[in-house]
Amino acid sequence: MADLQIINTPITPSKRNSSPSEAFKTISPEETSKVDESPSDKISEPNDMSEKVDPNGYESPSRPSASPESKLARSKISKEYDSEEEPRPVTNKKILRGKRLFLAFVGMLMSILLIALDQTILSPALPVIASNFNSLDQIGWIASAYFITQVSFLLLYAQLLMTFNRRWVFIMAVSIFEIGSLICALSPNAICLIIARAVAGVGAAGIFVSCLSIIADITELEDRPKLLGSFGAVFAASSVIGPLLGGAFTDHLSWRWCFWINLPCGAITILSIFLVIPDSTPPEVSEEMHGMVDLKWNRITFGRWTPMHGSFLHKLGTLDFIGALLMVGLIVLLVLPLQWGGNQYAWRSPVVIGTFCGFGALLAVFLLWEWKGVDEKIGSSLFPFRLFANRTQIGTCLQAFFVMLTMLTAVYFLPIHFEAVKNASATKSGIDLLPLMLSIVVSAGCAGFAISSTGYYWPALVVGPVLLTVGSGLLHTLDEFSSNGKLIGFQIIIGTGIGLVLQNVIVAIQANVREEDVPQATSMVTFAQLIGGVIGIAVVQTIFGNALTTNLIKFAPNAPFALVQSSVESIATLPDSVRPGVIHAYTNTLRQVYILGIPSGVGAFLSSFLVKSRNIKGIKRDPMMHTA
């Protein structure tokens, strides 16, 4: 009974000024006899900690101070939870219910919509922007600046969320995104627009990872799948809605409205965050971390000054800024050759090869710094290798990579089929893509509710890649004579597979790590998704360009190659003697593109066996958490 009583004793953070008498308070023999005489009463009374309601409406149980014995017992439990078998729960969480959860979720969903739209809404407006600013040579940077900073700062935001109040980190991220959008809307030239897009990307990085971390703070694990499924649905829908909105704004208003629309939506998001989402308490900083930060500031100030422990500057010292700068360089050196190769420069050109070599060298420096330059054991690493000791972290990252690669392949190249073969307009091709998007939305939502009901996420991670592989194989069979029924059916199959996996990898990783590791573990999966997107699109574009040239030579040798390769719309203007050969060349090329989804789907399927299967209903939250 004494052991049971110790385990259920909550922990309070140790303070330097606590008295020894309080810290080493013992139980008298009389009190011990009382405990031994009525063990059943102790077990059956859940109200030993009297519950109080604070002014904000949260149920807040009072916490008695802990004895050294209870700390020892809790430390033993913590060691057990450190393994990948049992994630350790965390205290100081405030679970939202009812209207408060609904309002918080709507605010976060709107912020997700903003950053998702910003990735695609500019695609139809870029030619007009380039014409307005006479900067056709800079059009690629307008699109890539947003992506570069978004990926580069993702892991740094994970550290911010572990160090500072998550609500204020979220508000800061939305504010940065809004400032970037405002400057974009007012930009007088292309250089200003590129810089503003980079600023917006910094905010976008924080928005997504903040949403995933705050969802983990304010909800039970078993309720998250249906909420995260909505995030995935919004992302998928934005892939179609974005270009349609961008085209409508550009044609009927101005391309600047692609950015003006972000301001009122962002304001609503900030208001809901401020009013509804509760404050979070960062975990207690270890003495080792205090010592490391003091050493940093001693070096910076030549030993003259160190900030007070717990102050803003002291917390900033816990962040891995060197790793963040190296990450920015890594992403730039990765994106540049992928954009240049096959377009501005040949893949074998010294510029492309040299940039790839620079990426490899800087990657080695980054990994060496994260391994030797920082001490991840005390929480200062931007890229904590210890997380990858958990096989679920590896499996979810690989699945996220492969699924995003396949999804963007379908999203980018199915419209080419509609326009080249069916002679559809850009708007009509977006509408023809709705079966894919709707199937992702529906399957993501249904999977979320099913997982919340049953508690099991692993079946979705296995079935999804199977459908992904089958759907990609079926797309590979399409030709110029395929019916609309086949096009719709094949999209539904592949879309269902994507929806089953897209956000449920987040559920899987959050169920298999300690709560204090959720921000970094989640950001790793999101990082893998984004990298899968950029690498996948670059690889597929290379396959498409090379295969189209080969197929045009084979099936339409008399076609105007430069015109046909640069504009799908030009196919409709070709003579009847040339057009069928060009269409056949396009369909053969697209079949070679779709086949990439087969090994990608197989990779996602095999990765699912690295993911540990758990029943999230069996993972109980800490009894110290508050509810509202």
Residues 475-523 pLDDT 10s:
988 888 888 889 899 999 999 999 899 888 988 888 888 877 777 888 8
Model confidence band, residue 33 (pLDDT cutoffs 50, 70, 90): very low
How far apart CA 469 and CA 34 sit, in angstroms, is 65
Residue 125: per-residue pLDDT = 74
Contact 408, 536 (CB under 8 A): yes
Residue 287: per-residue pLDDT = 61
Helices 518-555 and 190-218: crossing angle, nearest 10°? 130
Q: Which of 138-142, 186-190, 417-421, 482-486 has the lowest mean pLDDT?
A: 138-142
> In this structure, what token pair is assigned to residue 123?
């695609």
Q: Which of 74-83, 247-256, 432-441, 451-460 has the lowest mean pLDDT?
A: 74-83
Per-residue pLDDT at 285 exceeds 50 = yes
Q: What is the pLDDT of residues 371-400, one digit of tens each?
A: 776 665 555 677 778 888 889 999 999 999
Q: What is the pLDDT of residues 512-529, one digit of tens each?
A: 888 777 778 888 888 888
Residue 189: per-residue pLDDT = 86
Per-residue pLDDT at 474 exceeds 60 = yes
Per-residue pLDDT at 339 exceeds 90 = no
Residues 561, 565, 567, CA angle at the centre, nearest 5°? 120
Residues 305, 308, 313, CA angle at the centre, nearest 5°? 80
From the list 14, 60, 58, the residue with the least C-alpha distance to 624 is 60
pTM comes to: 0.71
How far apart CA 93 and CA 620 sit, in angstroms, is 13
**Helix boundaries (H) for 455-517:** 458-475, 484-501, 504-510
Residue 146: per-residue pLDDT = 84
Contact 158, 384 (CB under 8 A): no
Domain boundaries, the chain: 2-81, 94-283+384-545+597-627
Q: Three-state SS for 124?
A: coil
81-90, 150-159, 199-208, 544-553: which has the highest mean pLDDT? 199-208
**Location of structure tokens 């679920």:** 392
Q: Three-state SS for 220?
A: coil
Residue 83: per-residue pLDDT = 41
How far apart CA 580 and CA 98 sit, in angstroms, is 59
Class of domain 94-283+384-545+597-627: mainly alpha
Residue 28: per-residue pLDDT = 46
Per-residue pLDDT at 58 exceeds 60 = no
Q: What is the pLDDT of residues 229-244, one digit of tens each?
A: 777 777 777 767 777 7
Residue 614: per-residue pLDDT = 84
**DSSP assignments along 205-242, one per residue:** HHHHHHHHHHHHHHS-GGGHHHHHHHHHHHHHHHHHHH
From the list 621, 555, 628, the residue with the least C-alpha distance to 588 is 555
